[in-house]
């Protein structure tokens, strides 16, 4: 009788141990599978290079001339699924002062993101969407709903090449907040 009880207890123990070990092994195997099927949940959706992007030869930007619009073409842009080379991530207005200082403003209007143009007539930047205007130094003028001036991009000059660090900023707020 006592022997039967011991056998039952052993069987119950073995059953529980089998279920326990099986459950742990199943969970360990399932984690990578779940991750695989959920990919790219939790991954950054789009990334642009943080490194400065070459936009022009320094000699091509004439001191004291009107600003020129230049495309910003990144070598590598990655989203959750793909990587693409030579992608136009934006554009900027570039000018060089008489003293040789180069400035660049993103062409994205800080109001709602339309593309800002240069006005020869007014010698300033104008947004065609809601008429915001910006001085050559990027400061907001009185007209239009934009809450801040144009967003400057960091400029570096290396071995005769002008490079900008591309950056996007949150629209329609008075502070400059990178996104
Ligand atoms: S988007 Fe430029 S003024 Fe509205």
Domain-embedded: residue 170? no
Same domain for 32 and 81: no
Q: So what's the pLDDT on residue 147?
A: 98
- Report the domain count for the chain: 2
Same domain for 51 and 115: yes
Same domain for 79 and 14: no
The list of the chain residues with pLDDT below 50 reads 45-46
Q: What are phi and psi of 113, to 5 degrees?
A: 95, 10
Domain-embedded: residue 138? yes
| Partners of 155 in beta bridges | 164
Same domain for 143 and 87: yes
Same domain for 154 and 68: yes
Sequence-separated (6 or more) residues with CB below 8 Å from residue 53 = 72, 73, 74, 75, 89, 163, 164, 165, 166
Same domain for 132 and 69: yes
Q: So what's the pLDDT on residue 143?
A: 87
145 lines ligand 1 (CB under 6 A): yes
Q: So what's the pLDDT on residue 30?
A: 72
Model pTM greater than 0.75?
A: no
Same domain for 30 and 52: no
For 29, the domain range is 1-38
CA-nearest residue for atom 4, ligand 1, is 130
What is the whole-number distance in angstroms between the Cα of residue 172 and the centre of ligand 1? 9
- pLDDT tens digits along 86-125: 888 899 999 999 999 999 999 999 999 999 999 999 999 9
């Amino acid at each position: 009788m006592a022997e039967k009880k011991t056998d039952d207890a052993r069987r119950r123990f073995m059953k529980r141990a089998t279920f326990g070990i099986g459950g742990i092994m199943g969970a360990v195997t399932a984690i990578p599978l779940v991750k695989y099927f959920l990919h790219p949940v939790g991954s950054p959706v789009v990334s642009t290079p943080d490194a400065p992007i070459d936009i022009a030869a320094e000699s091509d930007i004439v001191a004291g001339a009107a600003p020129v619009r230049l495309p910003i073409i990144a070598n590598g842009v990655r989203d959750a699924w793909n990587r693409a080379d030579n992608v136009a991530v934006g554009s900027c207005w570039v000018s060089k002062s008489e003293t040789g200082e180069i400035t660049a403003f993103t062409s994205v209007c800080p109001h709602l993101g339309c593309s800002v143009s240069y006005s020869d007539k007014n010698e300033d930047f104008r947004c065609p969407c809601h008429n915001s205007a910006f001085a050559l130094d990027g400061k907001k003028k009185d007209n239009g709903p934009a809450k801040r001036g144009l967003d400057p991009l960091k400029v570096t000059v290396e071995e005769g090449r002008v490079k900008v660090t591309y950056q996007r900023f949150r629209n329609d707020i008075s502070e400059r907040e990178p996104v």
